[in-house]
Chains A and B, each alone.
Chain A
Amino acid sequence: MFNILFLLFVSFMAIYINVWFLLMSPDVKARMGEKRKAKRTPAISILIPAHNEATTVAKTLKSLLGLDYPKDKLEVIVIENGSTDNTLNVVRRFVKSVSGLKIRVLSMPESGKAKALNLGLKHAKGELIGVLDADTFVTRTCLKRMVGYFDDSCVGAVTNHVKIVKPHRLIPSLQDIEYIFSAFSKKLISLLDALYVVPGTLSLMRRDLVNKVGFSQDTLTEDMDVAICILKKNYKIVNALDAVSYTDVPKSLKGLLKQRIRWYRGFMQNFRKHSDVIFNRKFPHLGYFVLPFASLLAIFIGSFLTLVLIFDIIRSVTLFVKGVAYIPLLEKLSLDLGALSITNFIISPYSTISYAIILIETFIILVISFRALKVESKKKFIFLPIYFFMYYCLIMVFWIISAFMELLGRRKRW
């Protein structure tokens, strides 16, 4: 009985979150072409923390040279921290070879991204600061299309639209779909003033504001921490979809795992650090829905179902191989997961129907977001089934691993 009720609850929540998404989608689609012309060009300091990024940092700096923005208003600060490769030499060589763009190079022993950013912040003079990772490349019009939003004095930070550099192989291709979907949902939650990350893809922030909150070392993802701090100061974070930057993504499973563990552990740490946001009247959308339900509960349900699936497969395989299946863990959870498992999936009408509804809804949302963002390549649709049935499970496994690592309290630096 309990398992059926649990299943019904899970299905209802999944249906609800999807319906909510579908209801918001037309508004998001209408705002897709949103443009803000820059009335003025404030001085901007771009901070680039670099740690062992010798292969990409020159390309990143080169992309900055092409920016359509008055060069005298730009200031680039590269903060090399404790690299063991020749990042510092690459940067210095680059600085010598170019003229016209102000580039400062700072170097410090390894101490984490947040400290590096704080050091850069101390030297920054611009009215706005931009954070750019050393593996991300900006497009020509990026800055011009973002600064217009700062005409509104309530706006504290502006994020942009990040795409993936040439996703040719399988793992980058799958991440490509993920990034398209995430660009869409970021625009969506930005309409609700609930955007809670300012990623290092050349997000712009007001310098005086960041000076007040600072980049904290408390969590692994300072980009979420600083975003929530900005929201707490009653500023808005908006998203400029027409401002595009490109990023390099991990090409191997191991690299992806490493990246995601940092992200997800950072998410959990921030969730704990800023738990006062949850069910706080000051943040109606973020505190009541986006963080507790659309993020945390969705992840919990997803990883739980993935766990059931994995145990189910292990059980079947051991039964097949050894003849005796004894995986006591599932039974010991004192929760009969029969109704949720895949072998029973066809028999139980309720799980079949709810899975079908959720799948259809998710598919509609994906199609809407693909169309809204004008994704042209039909090739991407080939990856959709793999994305749905394998990549999603993989990401959920990463969440489970991250949760375990977080629970075991292992300290890990960026």
Chain B
Amino acid sequence: MADRSGNKEERKEEKKYEEKRYTTGLYLKAFAISVAIFSCGLLIGIYIENFFTSDLSARTAVIENSVREIELEMLYFQDLSDTYSCDFLSAVIVKTNSNLDTLAQELQYSEKNILFTKETIRNIKMTYTSLLIKDWLLQEKVKKSCGADAVTVLYFYTTESCDDCVTQGDVLTLLKDTFKEKLMVFPIDTQIDISMTKILMDRFNVTAMPSIVINGETYTGVIGKDELTGTICEQLPGIDECK
């Protein structure tokens, strides 16, 4: 009696675990669900990307305004005022330069990571480059009238297949951290199609990437940290960082 009921239970158990056949349906179902999850993720990504890009445009506009303001102030000082306010002007230029720096870093990230708003980013980069050159010009002008308390570096580079540019970029970032506002770097992406870039390249005899122009002199190829520090310190003797 007990045996028979045991057998029954056993049979029941075996029935419960009857073999289920798995066919392509399983894989198609998984595919459909994955596509759904994936597209949700992609949509959120696109939303964030748009948000990010419009934020960048807004900030570029702010910098554009401040550059225009500097131009205006220079006009005023040159034409109407007898005293040329050097401290005031260089402070504004330094601030603009550091704003441009932050923008440059974010542009660099977005160039790599943005998928759909490439065109907008390109436009921002063009505006950025012309602002950068303008800022450099203003700085040179101020330098002429007031003398220099900062070293300006023009850095020509390209983002396409240039290992050395990556290295040189790292070196400059590092030096920027040491010298802070005493060093003003103007990185110019030569792939951005602006005629002013070509004019500058001609003027300073820049033929290969990366190239650095310090104090009118052009250096091509990677320049190490120590050599660059030496060149900068030649022009800024007596500051703490050079001792």
Contact = CB atoms under 8 A, between A and B. Distances in A.
Contacts, number: 92
B37 A347 contact: no
Interface string A43-55: 0000000000000
B115 A350 contact: yes
Contacts of B113: 4, 338-339, 344, 347-351
Interface residues of B, number: 37
A357 interface: yes
* B contacts with A: majority SS: helix
12 contacts: A15-B37, A19-B30, A34-B17, A289-B27, A324-B174, A326-B167, A331-B163, A339-B113, A347-B113, A348-B112, A349-B48, A350-B41
B170 interface: yes
Interface in A293-343: 319, 323-326, 328, 331-332, 334, 336, 338-339
Given A23-B30, A357-B37, 6 more contacts: A15-B37, A34-B17, A323-B174, A324-B167, A348-B112, A354-B41
Interface in A1-31: 3-4, 8, 11-12, 15-16, 19-20, 23-24, 27, 31
B31 A16 contact: yes
A35 B6 CA distance: 14
Contacts of B115: 4, 350
Interface in B1-41: 10, 13-14, 17, 20, 22, 26-27, 29-31, 33-34, 37-38, 41
Nearest to B165: A331
Interface in B195-243: 224-225
A285 B30 CA distance: 14
A357 B170 CA distance: 33
B166 A331 contact: yes
Contact of A332 (B22, B42, B163, B171): B163
A95 to B, nearest CB: 38
A260 to B, nearest CB: 29
A386 interface: no
A16 B38 CA distance: 9
A324 B22 contact: no
A3 B22 CA distance: 35
A344 B105 CA distance: 11
A319 B30 contact: no
A349 B171 contact: no
A334 B160 CA distance: 10
Interface in B125-168: 161, 163, 166-167
A37 interface: yes
Contacts of A105: none
